[in-house]
Structure 1
């Protein structure tokens, strides 16, 4: 994958649109090196999709808020800052052991049905964000029958109805850029990140198209 291939160009174009339209400072980290990506994939035991790799070659995540750090990045994914590779691995490791406990799967489901495995935890779910409460937006490398490898999903401690947000991270960024271009961004403050404007009682995740 080089800087001129179709996937890289698509991700870079969408990424630059999102950064330009964000209501705040994205506080981007420097790009991840090829060596760092290779080490992350060795740790995960699976290759990341090309568009995820392309995203990390643009920036190794965003600055992560830590008390009493006053810096708060304008999140690129789900309104939350996307994780540096080191933190991707940290959160992924924390889910180790849950996959084998099938008693946790009782209420798990997929939206749309059949796209995400109805499980509480799957090692093919790679977290790209963390909301501070154990929930993530990430990419799915082990989808259910109707799903697609690399689809963007929600999962985590409080998420049982796993929602597919987009068929790929490239599509997610394009959809997000379109929503921002429509003026749907609601600026945040010192305590809350920015969000997308939706009707009361509606999740911003509902604005994204699983097959868009």
Structure 2
């Protein structure tokens, strides 16, 4: 059964977009999620597993994770395996050096969202000395930006995105009004973040808590 937080997160998106479910895959089974945890050698946060049981990733890009695509079970495996097999290298930059270890790829970082340009949101199970196991990282492997902690946990990340939806800093782009109803399949519909400096702004908010 969904927790109150997971249900609230989903409801926040559905309140903005009446056809939201059309963009999402049918949920993963408990066996698929258990197998995923064995594959990545980590226990996922309960709220993350609840979301996977509801939606096994995005059928069509909608930006369910703050403008990033929510990864399904098989997509997580593919991206995690890339993290595992990638050569060890230092990050371009780090926002909070005492919380984040200086490596770009690590099998103890579990990607759960992707922007299609090589940048991820990731659960970090290998924090630095002042970090928290399970903290959420903005992990830019495609752009020359700093890795940053943006939330202490997956639950805190969900609360952050709900707040951004409510404040319309994560806004719905819905072009259905520009098309006749029979042509709605051609309309652009997705959620887009509007914070000024992308995830560096979110990291700054986190640092100022």
Q: Is the alpha carbon distance of 1:133 and 1:61 closer, same or farther for their aligned partners in structure 2, counting shifts above 3 Å? A: same
Larger fraction in helix: 2
Note if 1:182 corresponds to 2:179: no
- d(CA) in 1 for partners of 2:125, 2:92: 18
- d(CA) in 1 for partners of 2:4, 2:171: 28
Deviation larger for 11-20 or 161-170: 11-20
- d(CA) in 1 for partners of 2:66, 2:5: 19
Say if 2:109 and 2:125, in contact at 8 Å, map to a contact too.
yes
Q: Is the alpha carbon distance of 1:25 and 1:205 closer, same or farther for their aligned partners in structure 2, counting shifts above 3 Å? A: farther
- d(CA) in 1 for partners of 2:18, 2:143: 27
Q: Which runs of 5+ in 1 are unaligned?
A: 64-71
- With the length of structure 2 as denominator, give the TM-score of the two structures: 0.79
How far off is 1:54 after superposition? 2.1
Say if 2:124 and 2:135, in contact at 8 Å, map to a contact too.
yes
Give the aligned partner of residue 49 of structure 2: 53
How many residues are aligned here? 193
Q: Which runs of 5+ in 2 are unaligned?
A: 176-186
Q: What is the RMSD of the two structures over their aligned residues, measured on CA atoms? A: 2.7
Note if 1:120 corresponds to 2:104: yes
Give the aligned partner of residue 71 of structure 2: 83
Deviations 1:33-78 (A, max 9, x none): 1100111011111211222222212221211xxxxxxxx4321113
Match of 1:44 among 40, 46, 55: 40
Give the aligned partner of residue 67 of structure 1: none
Q: Is the alpha carbon distance of 1:49 and 1:90 closer, same or farther for their aligned partners in structure 2, counting shifts above 3 Å? A: same
For 2:136, what is the secondary structure of its paired residue? strand
